[in-house]
Structure 1
Amino acid sequence: MAAERLVVIGGDAAGMSAASQARRLKGRDALEIVAFERGHFTSYSACGIPYWVGGDVEERDDLIARTPEEHRERDIDLRMRTEVTELDVAGQRVKALDRESGKTYWTGFDKLVIATGARPVRPALPGMDAAGVHGVQTLDDGQALLDSLDALRSGEGPRRAVVVGAGYIGVEMAEAMLKRGFEVTVLNRGEQPMATLDADMGRLVHDAMDGLGITTVN
């Protein structure tokens, strides 16, 4: 009897946790596991990116729990820089694009896990795709931001950073940019930073940011 095939779309924490758990439950003779990740990295701590930018985490690799090679050693066919572009539910197959070669191909599945994560909500404003505008959702995003900051060191570029959003990541990024020597302003549409907190706790966070020299515009 042929082994079943599990296809996992997304190679970060959720996707590779699912793949790893499936492998623990079934060996390769019973289950083939194919995972697709369109980026350069897998199984990393996205929440740690602000601390990497701020210098508290020294190396990018310190945020990576398991490398692609380690997953492959566990009999998981992990295909990096490969994006799933089409899903044929009736035919139980996915269409994949190799972002390095440009080639596309179909892969069948018996079971499918979609773990692509969420997309950030960005204001539909002119210039959102301009140079100097960064997100911090992936390690690739963090690397792009650090490369941009390194480029500023050699010139007389701007030393002001604006952070849009005052949730956990926004507040952490504000502190990270402050450590980088930037004058920081946080734009927040709510009445206080970290709106998931009670009002009295939110005021404490606001006061702490103010004490560090971070300007908050609500």
Structure 2
Amino acid sequence: MEEKKVKIEVSRLALVFIILFGLSLLIWSFVIGVWVGTKIEKKAQKEEIVLEQPVPSQAPSTPPVVLSNETTPPPAPSVSNETTPPAPVKISPPPSSEKPVKEEIAKKEVPVEQKKKAKYQKKEVAKIATQIKEIPTVFYSVQIGAFSKKEIAEKLKDNAISKGYKAFMKEYKTNGEILYKVYVGKYSTKEEAKKYITQIAKDLNVEHPFVTEIK
């Protein structure tokens, strides 16, 4: 009895294996059939698209007919043994962009120390200029008149200039009023200015000129 049971179990396993093998074959055959069908359909669609494209009609080009009473013979073909070589083609090199690139690199490569020095030098020059302006230039001059009206002072100044003197005018505020003072000459010392008082008084017809220090 035990031997018969073993034979039945073996036969069942074989049947299961055969069934599974057959199912796998069916599945693979179905997949291959679908794949082949899609390939055939794509080829058929491509052929239909090619056939549907219109073929351009090539119309025979007819040369224009020229009607004339005179019959001119056709020109004789010129036959020459010499073959003319083709003209050489000049190829211009592309514009070199090295110069602007080098200039940009040189600008970028300016050291920071030089920039700082340039800024420092500019500041020093500005300081020196302000110091020069602040230093008062003292000189001596001969005052020939002081007027409350600018027109009178300008006339006296112009008269002195016309007679060869270096005259100038200055404004001064005293007690809320403006005085226009006229001066002649610029001298480094008071003694030098005093030498010309009498001559200036005679030439300009001025009374009591005197030397003043101008700052």
Q: Normalising by structure 1, what TM-score?
A: 0.13
- Greater helix proportion: 2
Q: Normalising by structure 2, what TM-score?
A: 0.13
State which structure, 1 or 2, has the greater radius of gyration over its C-alpha atoms.
2
- Greater strand proportion: 1
